[in-house]
Amino acid sequence: MKKSPFHFLTYVLVIGAYAALQVLQARGGLSSSLRGMLVPICAYVVMAVSLNLTVGVLGELSLGHAGFMSVGAFLGTSTAIALQDAVPVPAVRLTIALIVAALFAAIAGFLIGIPVLRLNGDYLAIVTLAFGEIIKAIFNNLYLGVDGKGVHISLLEDTTRTAETGRLIIQGPMGIGGIQKISTFTAGFILIMISLIVIFNLVNSRAGRAIMAIRDNHIAAQSVGVNIIKYKMMAFVTSAALAGSAGALFAMNYSTVVANKFDFNTSILILVFVVLGGLGNMLGSIIAAAVLTILPEALRPIAEYRMLLYAVLLIVMMLTANHPFVRAFFNRFRQTGRLRLEADGDEEREAV
Amino acid sequence: MSKEPVLKAENLNVYYGSIHAIKGVSFEVYEGEIVTLIGANGAGKSTTLNTVSGILRSRTGSVTFLGENLRRVPCHKIVARGLALVPEGRRIFLQMTVEENLEMGAFTQSPAGIAQDLEQVYALFPRLRERRKQIGGTLSGGEQQMLAMGRALMSHPKLLMLDEPSMGLAPILVEQIFQIIRNLHGAGSTILLVEQNAQAALSIANRGYVLETGKVVTTGAGQELLASPEIKKAYLGG
Ligand SMILES: Nc1ncnc2c1ncn2[C@@H]1O[C@H](COP(=O)(O)OP(=O)(O)OP(=O)(O)O)[C@@H](O)[C@H]1O
Ligand SMILES: [Mg+2]
């Protein structure tokens, strides 16, 4: 399978957008509200491209992507707080936190994947939906403290008995407070680039071909000797890990983080980015995530109707995308691309 | 036939939940043979093939391939052992081109030999060469069946299992597909062929097994079965 020229274009546009925004920011050309949104946009972009790996490339529906974001947000941020004195350089601390966040989210993805990815059908959608809710319930009731004696954990009530010298980091429904805002736009940009490199390399590899073969026809994939569970797991765990680091990046842009921020609505919002941007189309996901994160800010007067607007947009997209006229229109593009190549060949032959 | 069989299935019992689909089926395939499993809808032919290729598991008995018991061999490793299944219903990769489909067939092979293997498959199926760049989903039914067979051949099978290759094809295409099977056989391939088209299958097979509701009811040489009055009555329409 050939490398898509789309991949290259995606890198170029992301780097270009980053550079342009940096220049604008330096010249004071960004409003303060937009400046505040740069990191969340990066986090949502990573969420969208990582979910697109599961939904678009692997072809499995996940309705709990915010659950992985939550795991990453809480455990990554806790790590950063615990290391506050040991690792004074913020960039290094952030890097460690993002890696820890990715690891824990990957483990969560792996644990979910073991039972579910063996099955064919819509089980993953159901289980991830439940996973998102369970994670929310857990972090709403979790108390985690760190002191000289180590890590203390309790559920429902704070019985951690964290020493005065230590710190109670996760405080049940109050979440984590007093976070140092160490996430930066540059860190977000780097995380987007790493996500793209990981995803595009996976898609272009032998493993990527196996993953897409499973999406296309899992019986055929099985019959050519593809280890279905392994490659499904590879895509799903990668997707979860990236979402985990996006969660940590997101959380450390604010002074507090609570579990309710990563709920079903957030999962659906990210799914909307993916569907609007196009299944398997990473550039589309990036644009959809960025535009739909900025848009509500721009449309603040009608913010209450945001979810309604998305629902309507989705329905309109589905209807038009399946409309014979629209299909014929896009097919014509595709075919003319191919036909033109062949026609060129013919002309050359005639010229000779 | 003193030699060891390439494939030996012994006392297979396969269940779908509480449904007992295969009841004590045993059969062998020797090197260079075409062996056919025939039977009506729901007799258990596909279930048998899927059990041999590791997609389903038997509760009892064993599947021995080239002297190795496959009980503990996972499904995806069985292809690499040299056992290829062309599944029922032309399961091709609809969104991939013909050539990409064939390349997927070599998934368990080292990439070095792929170009040469492609040439061999194209020599066998000239139609596929013409359609190399065409998307699988836009091929005709017969072409899709050829593609599924060509894809299986890309894995250098020592035993090729075909599940109803003639299903839903016009008579002329059925004839073509059977001609290809004969050619493969002539070139030394060992083939296990599942068919509802008993007439065609028995006339090219060395031996046949007749399945009825999960049991082998008759077995014998292809010509012998073809001539048997009972088989004629039950499967050959007269
Ligand atoms: N996934 C399944 N779940 C439950 N029962 C099944 C399943 N697949 C097959 N069966 C049952 O097992 C029996 C054997 O089915 P099988 O598909 O092996 O038949 P077959 O001989 O290949 O038939 P056909 O010629 O129609 O392909 C049938 O009674 C069928 O209903
Ligand atoms: Mg069948």
Query: What six digits make up the tokens of A344?
Result: 């060129």
- Tell the residue nearest (CA) to atom 22 of ligand 1: B46
Higher-pLDDT residue of A174 and A69 is A69
Question: pLDDT class for A15, splitting at 50, 70, 90?
Answer: very high
- B42 C-beta closer than 6 A to ligand 1: yes
Tens of pLDDT, residue by residue over A204-213, are 999 999 999 9
- Residue A250: CATH number of its domain: 1.10.3470
A349 located within any domain: no
Mean predicted lDDT score pLDDT of chain B: 91
Is the CA virtual torsion A228, A230, A231, A232 positive or negative? positive
Distance from CA of A7 to the nearest CA of B (A): 19
Q: Is A228 in Cβ contact with B92 (below 8 Å)?
A: no
Question: pLDDT class for A351, splitting at 50, 70, 90?
Answer: very low
pLDDT at A334 over 60: no
pLDDT of residue A303: 67
pLDDT of residue A327: 64
Please check whether residue B148 is in contact with residue B114, taking contact to mean a CB–CB distance below 8 angstroms: no
Task: Please state the separation of Cα A335 from the chain's center in Å.
Answer: 33
What are the strands of the beta sheet with B207-212, ordered from one edge? Answer: B83-86, B159-163, B191-195, B34-39, B207-212, B215-221
Query: What six digits make up the tokens of B196?
Result: 């509802």
Tens of pLDDT, residue by residue over A276-316, are 888 888 998 999 999 888 887 777 777 677 778 778 877 88
Distance from CA of A220 to the nearest CA of B (A): 5
Higher-pLDDT residue of A344 and B163 is B163
A84 located within any domain: yes
A315 located within any domain: no
Look up the domain containing A84 and give its range: 5-302
pLDDT of residue A121: 73
Between CA B123 and CA B129, with CA B127 as vertex, the angle to 5 degrees is 60
Tens of pLDDT, residue by residue over B57-82, are 999 999 999 999 998 899 899 999 99
Q: What's the complex ipTM?
A: 0.87
pLDDT of residue A197: 96
The span from the CA of B108 to the CA of B116, in Å, is 15
Query: What six digits make up the tokens of B121?
Result: 């498959």
- B44 C-beta closer than 6 A to ligand 1: yes
Q: Report the nearest atom of ligand 1 relative to the CA of B44.
A: 18
Question: pLDDT class for A343, splitting at 50, 70, 90?
Answer: very low
Q: What angle separates helix A206-216 from helix B98-105, to the nearest 10 degrees?
A: 110
- Tell the residue nearest (CA) to atom 4 of ligand 1: B16
The span from the CA of A345 to the CA of A347, in Å, is 5
pLDDT of residue B48: 95
pLDDT of residue A341: 35
pTM to 2 decimal places: 0.85
- B45 C-beta closer than 6 A to ligand 1: yes
A63 located within any domain: yes
pLDDT above 70: percentage of residues in chain B: 98
Best of B14, B16, B217 for a ligand 1 pocket test (most atoms within 8 Å of beta carbon): B16
Long-range contacts from A84-91, C-beta under 8 angstroms, 24+ separation: A84/A180, A90/A180, A90/A182, A91/A182, A91/A187
**B45 CB neighbour count, 10 Å cutoff:** 24
- B87 C-beta closer than 6 A to ligand 1: no
Alpha helices per DSSP H over chain A: 5-26, 32-52, 65-82, 90-116, 123-140, 185-204, 206-216, 218-223, 228-251, 264-277, 282-298, 306-322, 324-351
A336 located within any domain: no
Count of domains forming chain A: 1
pLDDT of residue A25: 85
Which ligand minimizes its atom distance to the CA of B42? 1
pLDDT at A329 over 60: yes
The DSSP output letter for A303 is: G
A184 located within any domain: yes
Q: Report the nearest atom of ligand 1 relative to the CA of B211.
A: 21
pLDDT of residue A279: 87
A324 located within any domain: no
* AA letter at A55: V
pLDDT at A164 over 90: no
pLDDT of residue A110: 96
pLDDT of residue A238: 97
Which ligand minimizes its atom distance to the CA of B37? 1
Mean predicted lDDT score pLDDT of chain A: 85
Give the residue from chain A lying closest to B155, CA to CA: A224
pLDDT of residue B236: 67
Query: What six digits make up the tokens of A273?
Result: 């980015």
A55 located within any domain: yes
Judged by a CB distance cut-off of 8 A, whether residue B16 touches chain A is no
Please check whether residue B202 is in contact with residue B208, taking contact to mean a CB–CB distance below 8 angstroms: yes
Distance from CA of A213 to the nearest CA of B (A): 7
